[in-house]
Amino acid sequence: MLANPLELLLQAKQGSDVARGELLESYRAYLELLARVELGRRLQTKVDAADLVQETFLEAHRNFALFRGQSEPEFAAWLREILSGRICNLVRHYLGTQGRDLRRERAWNVNLDESSRAIDRGFLALQSTPSQHVAAREQGVLLAQALSRLPPDYREVVVLRHFEELTFPEVARRMDRTVDSVQKLWVRALASLKQTLPEVV
């Protein structure tokens, strides 16, 4: 299990490259989920969310001295801001937007923040009992880590249905399954996710 994120953050701010690497890695599943939700709406066939997150990590590592916050929520927000900038660059590249558009970039920041809150709400909906660890951690980070532990089909049905907000027929088309099989898969996936959540808190 990874060290406490706040401890890693403090060690990273004191100059530990190992702590910085571990800290960033603890956000991989979370940022990939955010990127997937955002890219799925616009650029799903052109960009790999994992590559986008890797670029985000490289930029965060390179510019870590610019981070002035002291808490995990501040750090998560900083990473979302970097990810948002990367997404804006991709939109300009693939959709032909010329130059920087600050209004559009603010809109992307808002979209990522909304996606992050949706992930947090998903965590709360699945959590049966509150935990002090949950209060101390970004809830979306914990949910993304739990999702990453699921089998691929389970993870896919939850992401498509819950985060991309597709209907069951749309999910069935995306997964090349029948609606009935997707509904059954979704029920099993949620049950499995609820069992997985206590392992990450």
Q: Which CATH number is 176's domain given?
A: 1.10.10.10
**Residues 80 and 177 reside in one and the same domain:** no
**Residues 96 and 190 reside in one and the same domain:** no
The two counts, helices (H) then strands (E), for the chain are 11, 0
Percentage, residues of the chain above pLDDT 90? 42
Q: Which has the closest alpha carbon to 134: 72, 201, 61, 47?
A: 201
Q: Does some domain include residue 144?
A: no
Q: Does some domain include residue 90?
A: yes
Confidence of residue 89 (pLDDT cuts 50, 70, 90): confident
**Residues 104 and 188 reside in one and the same domain:** no
**Residues 85 and 115 reside in one and the same domain:** yes
Q: Does some domain include residue 14?
A: yes
**Residues 52 and 121 reside in one and the same domain:** yes
Residues 163-201: tens digit of each pLDDT: 888 999 999 999 999 999 999 999 999 999 888 775 544
**Residues 60 and 110 reside in one and the same domain:** yes
**Residues 124 and 153 reside in one and the same domain:** no
In this prediction, residue 134 carries a pLDDT of 40
**Residues 164 and 102 reside in one and the same domain:** no
**Residues 122 and 54 reside in one and the same domain:** yes
**Residues 196 and 126 reside in one and the same domain:** no
**Residues 66 and 118 reside in one and the same domain:** yes
Q: Which two tokens stand for residue 141?
A: 């980070």
Task: Answer with the one of 78, 100, 130 that is the final residue of a domain.
Answer: 130
Confidence of residue 49 (pLDDT cuts 50, 70, 90): confident
Confidence of residue 154 (pLDDT cuts 50, 70, 90): very high
Q: 3-7, 81-85, 101-105, 116-120 — which one is most confidently predicted on average?
A: 81-85
**Residues 126 and 153 reside in one and the same domain:** no
User: For residues 188 and 201, what is the distance between their CA atoms, to the nearest angstrom?
Assistant: 21
Q: What integer best gives the mean pLDDT of the chain?
A: 79
User: For residues 136 and 90, what is the distance between their CA atoms, to the nearest angstrom?
Assistant: 33
How many folded domains does the chain comprise? 2
CB atoms inside a 10 Å sphere around CB 109: 18
Residues 94-135: tens digit of each pLDDT: 766 544 444 544 544 445 556 555 555 554 444 444 443 344
Q: Which domain holds residue 188?
A: 149-201
